[in-house]
Structures are given as C-alpha cells and as structure tokens.
A and B are shown apart, each in its own frame.
Chain A
Amino acid sequence: MNNIKGYVSRWRVAFAAIVACLAVVLIPQSSTAEYADVVINNYADAAGMRPAVFPHWYHRIRFRCKVCHADLGFKFKAGGNKITMAKIIDGQFCGACHNGEISWSVENCGMCHSGIPGTPTSIHGSTIQRLVAPTYKSLPSDTKK
C-alpha cells in the first residue's frame, strides 16, 4: 500500500514539475521598457542585489553623451564597463556624479538596483531585439565600397 502511494505521488511531482517548468518558459515575458534603458547585471544577481537599471533618456536630458562616453570613459557596450561598487565609491562611472554633489549619493541603493531579479544585461527596445528573424547577413560578394 505504502509503495503504491509513493509511486503515485512521485508521478504527481514529476507532472507538477513539468507543468511548472512549462509555465515559466511559456508565459510571455513582455518588456516595454523605455527605449535605451540599460539593465546592468554582471554581478548584481550573484551578490543578491536587484540588477541596476540605467535610464539613458533621463540622463541625456541633463548631460550630452560626451560627458559619459568621452570624459568619464563609459564604453559603448552594455555591461562592457565592468562597473562595481568599489569603483563607484572611488568616484568612477556612476560614482562620478552619484556622490551627493552633482546627484544624490550612493546610499540610495534602490534607485539604481531597481531591476526585476534575473533580468540579463541588455539594452531595451533595441532594433536587434525587435527583429522577427535573425539579422540579415550580407553576401561575401557585397564588399565593394
């Protein structure tokens, strides 16, 4: 009798697990984030923090691209700057401004670490993300000029 019970519930578990997995995979993950919002998640998840979200629209109203991408040395690559809190409190990257002088200071963790846990590093609304097929690759002969 006991044996049968164990047998049945194991099947139930298997079934429940399959259904759960399917649901997680199939529920459409719609993201309609503002164009050019960057989620930075090289390390945050692993350290138990929500990923950082950087809003380009908000900053470009206040600063030209040159300030960050030339003067402060942010490379044009989401996640490509290996930003850490150690660098930030030394005045690099976000810390060049989020220091209580130019903008609010770094103890406001939740203002930056506001992403949904598990969101990978990416830039939102990009043309590539919105394509319905992989990017067109040109023919090898298409090299003139």
Chain B
Amino acid sequence: MKRISYAIYCALFCFGIMSMSQLWAAEEGASKKSMELKQVKGEEGKVSTANVFNRLLKKDKARNLPPPEDGVHDADNEGTHVLQPPLIAYEGLPKTDFGNYVDWVQALQKGYLNPRYDRVDPTVEPLVMDLDIVREVKASVPDVVFPHKPHTQWLHCSNCHPAIFIPQKNANQINMSAILLGQKCGVCHGKVSFPITTLSCKKCHSKPKPDNWKPPLSSASVKNPWR
C-alpha cells in the first residue's frame, strides 16, 4: 500500500519537474530579454527589469496557419490533418491587412467567388439593395458610410432589420463602445466580417469631413477662465 502511494508521489513529482522544464522553455525568450536588461547599468545602479520594450503588444507569429498548428485544432485527431489549410483556398483572392487577410467584398464583386445564396440551388440571385447611409460622426474621424450593397450581397434584410437596426436613418444610437462590445455593427464586425483595428477604421469612416470642420470644444475648455 505504502509503496504504491510512494510511486504515485514520485510520478507526481516527475510530472512537476517536467512541467517545470516546459515552463522554463516557454519563458526562455522572456528571461533572455530581462537578462539583457539587467546588464544595462546606469551610473547609479541597475534599471528595473519591468522595462521591456513591449509590455502588452502581442504580434501574430504567423498568419493563416494550417489547422494542426493553429492552437485550436487537436493535432492528435486524424481528421484535423484532412482539413484544408486556409492559405491553399485563399490563393489568388484579393488581400487585406486584417481578419482573414482576404478582401471578401472585392472577391465577390470581381467574381473570384460566387457563394450560394440558397442551400441547394446555385442559380438563386441575392436580393441586393444599393443604398448608402451616411452617419455624421461627432469626432474628428471621417463620417461613417454604411453601404447596403456589400451587406445585401452577403446577408438578408432580416439579418439586420429589425433586431439589430430599426430600418430608418438615424433612428439607431451607435457609438464605438457599443461596436467594440459586440453590439450594432459589432455583431458581425470584429467577429466574422472585417475586425476593428487601426488599419480598418477607414473602411467604415470613409467620408472625409468638410474642409471647414473643426472639433467642438469641450465645455470645460470653453468655461476655463485662463484660456
């Protein structure tokens, strides 16, 4: 009885050591950086090792990884190796700098793709409506143009109306916080349609402000007696 429990303890210990070494391997890169930093000495002494260059920024190591390497699919599952790697499918499609790195709107409009609008009948044509809705933005960024055309090429009116948007100009209160929280435009943008990043702002914010436009002054600034 005691031997068995001792064996279990040993096994646990080994597992601990193994995980520990894995941990060291994983942290190696980080510790290398802090080693370098420790050697940086000023006249008065050492500098804090907290001063790494990027504390928070994480960059993608690679784009469009094949399923077995993407960190979500299990490489031990044989089916995973039958799945198609995205880069093979994306060959020849117009590119962007975010999301799937594919410009899905151009891919459709230039005829590279013609996804079905009906589950079984490939000849059904989508119900497309070409109506742009301009929404003036109170901030200095260009105004938002919501184009119905690319949306109705992919979606049905009922996907948006009335659950997400009341179909009436300016009847909906929209702001960036709501979008980032996954409401309004953020129901799709940031999840499946193109994401919200510095490189994509101008896809929505596409109508330049009039030349004489100036940002409104905040009341704290207007009231400031020292101004």
Contacts and interface: CB of A to CB of B under 8 A. Distances in A.
Q: Do A and B assemble together?
A: yes
Interface of A: 9-10, 12-13, 15-20, 22-24, 26-37, 39, 50, 53, 55-58, 60-67, 69-72, 76, 96-97, 102, 108-117, 119, 123-128, 130-132, 135-138, 142-143, 145
Interface residues of B, number: 75
Contacts of A35: 99-100, 195
B148 to A, nearest CB: 14
Contacts of A70: 155-156, 158-159
Candidate in A61, A63, A123 with the most chain B CB atoms within 10 angstroms: A61
B85 to A, nearest CB: 9
Contacts of B56: 132
12 contacts: A17-B16, A31-B71, A36-B99, A53-B72, A56-B192, A57-B86, A57-B100, A64-B155, A65-B159, A108-B79, A115-B73, A126-B190
Given A28-B26, A32-B70, A127-B186, 20 more contacts: A9-B6, A16-B16, A19-B17, A19-B20, A23-B20, A26-B23, A26-B27, A31-B72, A32-B61, A56-B192, A65-B154, A67-B119, A70-B159, A96-B119, A110-B79, A112-B79, A114-B79, A126-B195, A128-B182, A132-B57
Contacts of B60: 32
A61 B115 contact: yes
A72 B118 CA distance: 10
Interface of B: 6, 9, 12-17, 19-20, 22-23, 26-27, 56-58, 60-62, 64-65, 67, 70-74, 77-80, 82-84, 86, 89, 99-100, 102, 104, 113, 115-120, 126, 138, 153-156, 158-159, 170, 173, 175-178, 180-182, 186-192, 195-197
Contacts of B186: 127
A50 B70 contact: no
A115 B72 contact: yes
A65 B23 CA distance: 42
B16 A15 contact: yes
A145 B170 contact: yes
A102 B13 contact: no
A28 to B, nearest CB: 6
A61 B102 CA distance: 11
Given A110-B80, A127-B180, A145-B173, A23 B22 contact: yes
